[in-house]
Amino acid sequence: MAAQEKPIRIIIGKVGCDIHERGALILARAFRDAGMEVIYLGRYQTADTVAKTAVDEDASVVALSDHTGSMRYIADEIVASLEKYGGSDIPVVSGGLIPKKDLPYLESLGVTGNFGPGTALPIVVEHIQKTVEKSRQAAKA
């Protein structure tokens, strides 16, 4: 990565009432250790808050965490909210308990990663670095 490149600024969002926070907290630390600027909004957020924060804070990427199996509904809302606030260019990644049958749908929305529990932290970090890199290239092009 070029020296003048800004560090990755990542928003971690948990939308709705899912209380399982361990994954989000462990990842927040791993992202920070990898040199990213981490904004973890905590639990009980709305999609609007997450999207608006991402736009206001000029985030490089939004990471969603959910363990209810409802990521497809959350992703729907996030994508719509990002569009509403003019942040459609911000890539979205996700992780948690995600039903396998929902993976193609999430990919079709442009939500990538979609990692399950126990994924090695470097794999998640690398995916985010690559995703941001790609989105920065696209912005330049």
Partner 1 sequence: MATQPENNENPSVVYDRSLGGMVRDATQAFIPLQEVYTPEDIQDTDYERDLNDPGKYPFTRGIYERMYRDRLWIKSFIVSYSTLEETNQAFKEYLANGQTGLRLLADLPIQSGLDPDHPSSWNAMLCGGISSYALETYEKMLDGLPLENVDYELAHMGMSSFLCCYSYLVAMMEKRGLDISTLRGAAINDPFRSKIVYGCPDFPTEIDRRITLDLIEFAVKNTPKWKAYAPNGVDPQQSGFTAVQEAAHVLAVATAVYTDLINERGISLDEVGATVFSMDAESDFFETLCMFRATRRMWAKIAKEKLGATTARAQSLRIGIRTSGLSLQTQKPLNNAARVTLQILSCVLGGVNSLDASSIDEAIGLPSREARLFNLDAQHIVTHEANVPLVADPLGGSYYVEWLTNKIEEEANQILQTIEDNGGMWACLESGWLRHQIDASRMRVQAEINEGKRLIVGVNAFEGEEGPINKAIENCAYKVPSKKMRQKTIADVKRLRATRDKEKVNASVVELYNATKEGRNVVRATIEASKAGVTLGETVGVIRMAYGYGYDPLNQIEAPAFITELLGGK
* Binding residues vs partner 1 (CB under 8 A): 15-19, 21-22, 25-26, 29, 42-44, 46, 66, 68-70, 73-74, 77, 97, 99-100, 116-118, 120-121
Is 113 in contact with 82 (CB distance < 8 Å)? no
Smallest gap from Cβ 16 to partner 1, in A, equals 3
**Smaller CB distance to partner 1: residue 77 or 133?**
77
CA nearest to 130, candidates 141, 120, 122: 122
Smallest gap from Cβ 74 to partner 1, in A, equals 5
Taking the C-alpha atoms of residue 81 and residue 84, their distance in angstroms, rounded to an integer, is 5
Smallest gap from Cβ 131 to partner 1, in A, equals 22
Taking the C-alpha atoms of residue 27 and residue 80, their distance in angstroms, rounded to an integer, is 25
